[in-house]
Amino acid sequence: MYLASHPDELELGLSLTEENQPDNIELAVQLSEDQRRQVAKLIREFGDVFQEMPGEAQGVIHWIKTFPGQVIRESWRQIPQRLQGQIKTEIEMMLEKSIICRFHNDWRSPIMAVLKPDGKICLCVDFQKVNAVAKFDAYRMPRVDELIENIGQACYISTLDLTKGYWQVPVAPED
């Protein structure tokens, strides 16, 4: 997690207890003692959102709208032997935690294993060909100057790297 105060970016270290509550909160030295207390209190108060495994977003479901008659069936990609064990373990964990489920349909996109710096893998699905036949809503991207203006007189500005945030929004079962 990062906290920014004016142009200098400040790093905030955060570790969790077994109950997924913030335990060891390290705040940047540039913050005053009062600011450090306020931020630490806020993090402890909302500690349930700092979990190692994501929860499911409530009130939202993602639909994948495609043009009629379009079905994508890609070939499986060769997986290096040295990664197959990690991939199997990751898939089993995702099934156990109901992040993914088994199903059969006509669509097929290949998985990819991206090696992280720590040697672990991040499982991804290559949806490039699905994206080619998907209908997208025409929302314009916000402009940076509008975003900065909306920040206003904020005391703290933070950016968060969500743990497996892409797992949190469920996809409609029919998609």
Q: Are residues 129 and 150 in the same domain?
A: no
Q: Are residues 126 and 145 in the same domain?
A: no
39 exposure class (CB count in 10 Å sphere: 0-12, 13-18, 19+)? buried
In a domain, 126, yes or no: yes
Which domain does 106 fall in, by range?
Answer: 81-133
> What's the rounded Cα separation, in Å, for the pair 22 and 19?
9
Q: Are residues 152 and 127 in the same domain?
A: no
Q: Are residues 123 and 150 in the same domain?
A: no
Helix (H, G, I), strand (E, B) or coil at 16: strand
What are residue 158's DSSP bridge partners? 3
The residue that leads in pLDDT, 70 or 159, is 70
In a domain, 36, yes or no: yes
Q: What is the pLDDT of residue 1?
A: 38
Helix (H, G, I), strand (E, B) or coil at 125: strand
**pLDDT tens digit sequence for 47-106:** 777 666 777 778 888 888 888 888 888 988 888 899 999 999 999 998 998 888 888 888
Q: Are residues 126 and 150 in the same domain?
A: no
Number of domains present in the structure of the chain: 2
> What's the rounded Cα separation, in Å, for the pair 85 and 79?
10
Q: Are residues 127 and 112 in the same domain?
A: yes
In a domain, 62, yes or no: no
